[in-house]
Copies of this chain bind each other. A is one copy, B any other.
Amino acid sequence: MALIVHKYGGTSMGSTERIKNVAKRVAKWHDAGYQIVVVPSAMSGETNRLIALATEIMPQPDPRELDMIASTGEQVSVGLLAMALLALGKQAVSYTGWQVAIKTDSAFTKARIQSIDDEKVRRDLDAGKIVIVAGFQGVDPNGNIATLGRGGSDTSAVAMAAALKASECLIFTDVDGVYTTDPRVVSDARRMKTVTFEEMLELASLGSKVLQSRSVEFAGNYHVPTRVLSSLTDPMLDLETEANSGTLISFEEDTNMEHAVISGIAFTRNEAKITVLGVPDKPGIAYQILGPISAANIEVDMIIQNQSVEGKTDFTFTVSRGDYVKAMDVLTQHKDELGGASVHGDAKVSKVSVVGVGMRSHVGVASQMFRTLSQESINIQMISTSEIKISVLIDEKYMELAVRALHKTFELDSE
């Protein structure tokens, strides 16, 4: 009997009516003979409500206590979903993270799963029960509740699937799969039937919000076939159709030569660029600039250092726009240590990336990308590359134009 993990997001769990619909869908899969573990998120809005309460009391909430509070959203969800299944006449039981136990490290608010004890869950599954496990949370070695950070329920679901060696992990969400790019920007955007784990990893980290990056890493490390599909369809649709819908994240590179070179175009709108001009070119200067930034808990994305001229160099990096003012402040405070360099910023930039494992065996992707942008008179401000993606930083106002042009150039609108 195949074991399947279902994950439902906050929107699917957004009201008691919707929770009843989730229960119907789960029951349908169970009726079809599957063993089912369900990992639901908190009801939409609930985690924000809890964090707002915490920040009213402590503007920078204590991480351990914040996790104590934030983890309750999922605890309520699992109880409600278990009841909805019991009300349908199913046997069901809910567990919190510590009850399973999902063991994590002690990095409160961004903990990592270290191990999962599958005994209790297996025993229940073998007894015919549907098991509901709280997403987003676990228990650290000292018995404290630790949460996995925003979107952590995806990771919980994939990790449960890995621990139970599930046939598939189905991530039910409010989109019906992973698209070649955001359909709100490019109307021709096409749902991919499959995407490789590496592509998905790049897409997730580049701002495609369908899955949390860490859940994709987990899927990759443990080879968990993971499918993104819609929770908005009627829960009583044909199971066969549902089981083959959405986008499957696979672990074998497509040997089909027809596979497109590029799978998708990702973008992040809210980037900011900071340039330090005329920095003395000496060892340790990168650290001198980025050390204080990192100490202020600001994440840096792209980094460029130009060839030095007359012992001086220019140093540019990007941060997310929300951190822009803070980053500029930090650099101003450390001005003296930068040897008379001047700091310039631009908070109106966006990042556009093309992603595809096909890039490995096809030269010319970069030049095709740059030619396309040039034809549209879009200036490239920074470039960064990995084995299967190329990202460029451009003026924010050209973002949509760039995404549309690239989507067309790489023929992502056709199968």
Let me know if A86 and B58 touch, CB within 8 A.
Answer: yes
Out of B16, B57, B69, name the residue touching A75 (CB < 8 Å): B69
Pick 26 A–B contacts, CB within 8 A, sort by A: A16-B57, A19-B57, A53-B76, A53-B80, A54-B83, A57-B80, A58-B83, A58-B84, A62-B82, A62-B83, A65-B79, A65-B80, A65-B86, A65-B94, A66-B79, A66-B83, A68-B94, A68-B96, A69-B75, A69-B80, A71-B75, A72-B72, A72-B76, A75-B75, A96-B145, A98-B98
Contacts A16-B53, A57-B80, A68-B82 known; list 17 others, CB within 8 Å.
Answer: A16-B57, A19-B57, A53-B80, A54-B79, A54-B80, A58-B84, A62-B83, A64-B93, A65-B82, A66-B83, A68-B75, A68-B96, A69-B79, A69-B80, A71-B75, A72-B75, A75-B75
A129 to chain B, nearest CB (A): 12
Tell me whether A304 is interfacial, beta carbon within 8 Å: no
Docked pose: A143 CA to B97 CA in angstroms: 12
Beta-carbon contacts of A88-115 to B below 8 Å, as 1s and 0s?
0000011010110000000000000000
Enumerate chain A interface residues (CB-CB to B < 8 A): 16, 19-20, 50, 53-54, 56-58, 61-62, 64-66, 68-69, 71-72, 75-76, 78-80, 82-84, 86-87, 93-94, 96, 98-99, 143-145
Chain B residues with CB under 8 Å of A87's CB are: 57-58
Docked pose: A20 CA to B75 CA in angstroms: 26
Docked pose: A99 CA to B146 CA in angstroms: 13
Docked pose: A98 CA to B50 CA in angstroms: 21
Let me know if A83 and B99 touch, CB within 8 A.
Answer: no
Oligomer copy total: 2
Docked pose: A66 CA to B75 CA in angstroms: 11
Chain B residues with CB under 8 Å of A54's CB are: 79-80, 83
A27 to chain B, nearest CB (A): 14
A87 to chain B, nearest CB (A): 5
Chain B residues with CB under 8 Å of A78's CB are: 68
Chain B residues with CB under 8 Å of A58's CB are: 83-84, 86-87
Docked pose: A84 CA to B64 CA in angstroms: 13
Out of B61, B71, B145, name the residue touching A83 (CB < 8 Å): B61
